Chain A
């Protein structure tokens, strides 16, 4: 047992494994896409997994690192999905080369709205902030339902299938990379300090307003990116698909994988995606088993599998040496 443990620690501290895995993963994605190695179902599940990783990691920034409770993430998804889909269907149709700018545009629209929301609500915390994000989600949904230009309640159909495996994989890596670099900087530590004790953070000179706004904007940016990818995966979006249930799904991933952890975000998203596919055969039982798992998790591991811990692969080398216990 001890030797297994020691082996795991050794592997976890090897700096070259993660880059290698990423290169292999990217190679696999490109090969699978051009060579048609995967059937369309497996491909669909893998893309969903990538989108879920982006959603989970970005929501973790607010709900895990900042320690707030946002239920509005589906709203940012919706903004990103609609903004990007408008670009690829109305503004520049038949131009797949513009898909990446469209994704970025989707993220940007979500980030601007996220920024404004944070600006308006930075003084509220806890339950009150949760209520504001809930209200935001409802506003987005009913706004989209009432704009005929984007399809109203019937939604937007005929979105081109552009979310490929390599693009989704790449977007997930970029998301994790950005959030990781942010978290292990003075900005990330400020965000975490607010979660731990806002008054103390303030008294140490942490500009809490700036830190909160930054966390919210980045989180909503990637929420929008995920929405854009989803729209170009399922090719049809309507306001109803970005409701509180969608937000709840992301919340489950975050709290399953572990708050304040990137490795946890990946783990939570992967487990959740696989589990919801496996449980698809059980029909209605799916909505019994999934919540049951969540209840058990909250009872036995309330911070999630990787809660507040990080896989050394994700740590910058500098942090690693300062964290390692002295011999």
Chain B
């Protein structure tokens, strides 16, 4: 079968700096795909390319078989790609519920005039986005915090809310940018279980960037190693772990 996401010879240059160079990546539906690599390897740039925040200098990106290169970020999100950010980007002053509602809102279809007069599809749409938002928060154990502002949540829950918000987009592909950043070993282990549960429950394909090798090796079916914007190696966790180039470039310092 064809891949869910296909990155075809993508290059991204910022002035003289080549952040991503001739990158190829193919992610099949249903897998969890890890992207690892030293800082500055171009991992987050790759996410920004997939989600349309940057437009690639060269190359094409295909999602579900169609070309999404150059689409606006909102269109790509609605097409089914949700993401989280390396440094949490929640809507801080809004309530926890509103954070996920904003993602559900984009799937509602009512006209501004219907909202102004509070008639037509407006009422049902609003009910729906509240109900769906609360349901999602329930699943994530965040329902009791629904009325708090997002910035009032402790760090771990903010991370969790960000994942919930990304899932509210109803993605078939979920991009997680360092979900375990700032977590200790026990928290990371809990996150691994959590992500596994999400994957099963929401039937979502995952690409995750992570520095915690334990999480990546445990969760991912396939791993791509990036270095200086190039694909250094690709394969199953076992293959990648055994690859001498990877050990030299990244794992060599006893990380594994």
| Cβ of B144 under 8 Å from chain A | yes
A118 to B35, CA, bound (A): 40
| Cβ of A178 under 8 Å from chain B | yes
Contact B147–A203 (Cβ < 8 Å): no
Contact A187–B115 (Cβ < 8 Å): yes
Contact A205–B90 (Cβ < 8 Å): no
List the one stretch of B96-104, B185-193, B198-206, B230-238 in contact with chain A. B96-104
Query: Could you tell me which B residues sit within 8 Å of A by CB distance?
Result: 51, 53, 72-74, 77-78, 82-83, 85, 89-95, 97-98, 101-103, 105-108, 110, 112, 115-118, 122, 125-127, 129-130, 134, 144, 146-147, 165-166, 168-169
Contact A326–B144 (Cβ < 8 Å): yes
Contact B91–A322 (Cβ < 8 Å): no
User: A241 → chain B, closest Cβ, in Å?
Assistant: 31
Which of A181, A193, A260, A325 contacts B102 (CB under 8 A)?
A: A193
A193 to B150, CA, bound (A): 12
Query: Could you tell me which A residues sit within 8 Å of B by CB distance?
Result: 178, 181-182, 185-187, 189-190, 192-193, 196-197, 199-208, 214, 260, 308, 316, 318, 322-326
A326 to B142, CA, bound (A): 13
Residues of B within 8 A of A205 (CB): 74, 77-78, 103, 106-107, 169
Contact A182–B116 (Cβ < 8 Å): yes
User: B51 → chain A, closest Cβ, in Å?
Assistant: 6
Residues of B within 8 A of A178 (CB): 116
Identify the closest chain A residue to B112 (Cβ).
Answer: A187
A-B contacts counted at CB < 8 A amount to: 111
Residues of A within 8 A of B91 (CB): 192-193, 196-197, 200-201
> Counting chain A CB atoms within 10 Å of each CB, which of B51, B78, B90, B115 scores highest?
B115
A322 to B4, CA, bound (A): 37
Q: Given A193-B91, A193-B102, A196-B92, answer yes or no on A182-B144 (Cβ-Cβ < 8 Å).
A: no
Which of B90, B110, B168 contacts A186 (CB under 8 A)?
A: B110
> Counting chain B CB atoms within 10 Å of each CB, which of A193, A197, A316, A322 scores highest?
A322
Contact B105–A325 (Cβ < 8 Å): no
A192 to B83, CA, bound (A): 20
Contact A182–B115 (Cβ < 8 Å): yes
Identify the closest chain B residue to A197 (Cβ).
Answer: B89
